[in-house]
Amino acid sequence: MKIIAVDKSSESILSKVGSFLTEDGLYPVVDIVRVDKEIYSSVKQALAESDKTIILGNGDTIHECFKACSSQNPGMIIFTASPNIEFLKRITNMKRGNLLLVGVRNLDVKQQNYIRENKIRLYPMKEIALEGIREISDSVMAASKDFTELYVSIDLGVVDPSAAPGVNFIAPGGFSSRELLFFIHRLKNLRNLKVADIVGLNLEKDTNNLTLLLAAKIVTELY
């Protein structure tokens, strides 16, 4: 597994990755790549050399990372509390119809209209709470299994601030850390999962290191 480190926060996550075994009792063997050229080229090369690539750091580069997935029918699952509409436009302009949003709990009318008009599949936090996490995860996996490459983007703000206070977007009612890990453990069963990113860590707000440790745990469990 290759890990691409993009910025300062990614170095902090890497410093904690060795703190955990996977919950299957494995010690992850990783190849760390520091970005010394444009992110697109770094991800493109990593995808050619590794069965799985993890990107740590900057949410502004996600569209470039997804662009590096060159297969005919790639898809993206985004775990986010409140998707940025300009970001959604960048992604849907590239790969219209292969975008799933999971864990959303803060949408304005403009966002709702864009999601509906572009047929983006939405699995909001309210629906997950009402229908059950296993049923929704089954639906997400069924919608994702036929993509030629699966990209999973994890904005740490999808987690409730009680478990992840070190993020930019703070709103109650998000995933517990265990619920997010449940999704990750299930998605790992999909053979087309090739790349993931972990973004949204704000070290200045993470005074107790809870969010930092959760990010490192997610990296470990993606192994």
Sign of the alpha-carbon dihedral angle for 62, 164, 221, 9: positive
Answer whether 14's CB lies under 8 Å from 32's CB. yes
Predicted local confidence at residue 218, as pLDDT: 97
Which CATH architecture describes the domain 2-221?
A: 3-Layer(aba) Sandwich (3.40)
Per residue, the 3-state secondary structure of 27-84, as one string, reads CCCCEEEECCCCHHHHHHHHHHHCCCEEEEECHHHHHHHHHCCCCCCEEEEEECCCCC
pTM of the shown model: 0.94
Tokens of residue 146, six digits:
């036929």
pLDDT in tens, 105-160: 999 999 999 999 999 999 999 999 999 999 999 999 999 998 999 999 999 999 99
By the 8 A CB rule, do 17 and 219 touch? yes
Tokens standing for residue 5: 């480190």
Closest CA to 158 of 188, 199, 113, 186: 199
Contact 108, 86 (CB under 8 A): no
**pLDDT, tens only, 12-41:** 999 999 888 999 998 888 888 887 668 888
Residue 59 predicted with pLDDT over 80: no
**Residue 204 DSSP class:** T
Amino acid at 12: S
Is 80 exceeded by the pLDDT of residue 97? no
